[in-house]
Amino acid sequence: MYVISKKSGVLVLLALAASSLSGPLAAQQIDPQKTDITVTGAALPDVSQMTAGPEIKGFISARSGDKLQVTTADGSKSVVVFNDATKIKASNGLFGSTKLGAGSLLNGLPVTVKTLQWPGGLLASQISLRGGDLKTANMIRHGTDQRFAEQSAATEALRGRMADIDKYNIKSTTNVHFDTGKAVLSAEDKAELCNTAAQAEGVDNALILVVGYTDSTGGDDLNQALSEKRAARVINYLQQACHWKPYRMLTPTGMAKADPLASNDTAEGKAQNRRVSVNVLVSKGLDGV
pLDDT tens for each residue of 216-259:
999 999 999 999 999 999 999 999 999 999 888 887 788 999 99
Residue 159 maps to a domain: no
Look over the chain and give the mean of its residue pLDDT values, rounded to a whole number.
76
Query: Quick check: is 148 in a domain?
Result: no
Model-level pTM? 0.47
Same domain membership, residue 131 and residue 28: yes
Interatomic CA distance for residues 227 and 129, integer angstroms: 27
Task: Give the mean model confidence (pLDDT) for residues 65-73.
Answer: 87
In a domain, 142, yes or no: no
pLDDT digits (tens, 9 = 90+) for 258-268: 999 999 999 99
Note whether residue 262 is domain-resident. Answer: yes
Q: Which residues pair with 278 in a beta bridge?
A: 174, 210
Q: Burial letters for 236-271: b for 16+ Cβ neighbours within 10 Å, e otherwise?
A: bbbbeebebbbbbbbbbbbbbbeebeeeeeeeeebb
Tell me, yes or no, whether 169 and 125 share the same domain: no
Query: Is the domain of 204 the same as that of 242?
Result: yes
- Output the furthest CA–CA distance in the chain (Å, rounded): 58
Residue 152 lies in a domain: no
CATH of the domain at 57: 2.40.50.320
Are 88 and 198 members of one domain? no
As for how many domains the chain has, the answer is 2
Dihedral pair phi/psi, residue 230, rounded to 5° = -65, -45
Using CA atoms, how far apart are residues 233 and 71, in angstroms rounded to an integer?
A: 9
Q: Are 40 and 53 in contact (CB under 8 A)?
A: no
Q: Does any domain span residue 5?
A: no
Query: Is 105 in the same domain as 25?
Result: yes
DSSP element (H, E) containing 280? strand 275-283
**Phi and psi torsions of 43, nearest 5°:** -70, 170
Give the domain extent around 214. Answer: 164-283
pLDDT at 43 (0 to 100)? 66
Q: Per the domain annotation, does 154 fall within a domain?
A: no
Same domain, 266 and 174: yes
Residues 28 and 85 in one domain: yes
Least confident range of 61-75, 81-95, 146-160, 239-253: 146-160
Do both 169 and 97 map to the same domain?
no
Question: Do 127 and 169 lie in a common domain?
Answer: no
Same domain as 21, residue 115: yes
Are 23 and 110 members of one domain? yes
> Is pLDDT above 70 for 136?
no
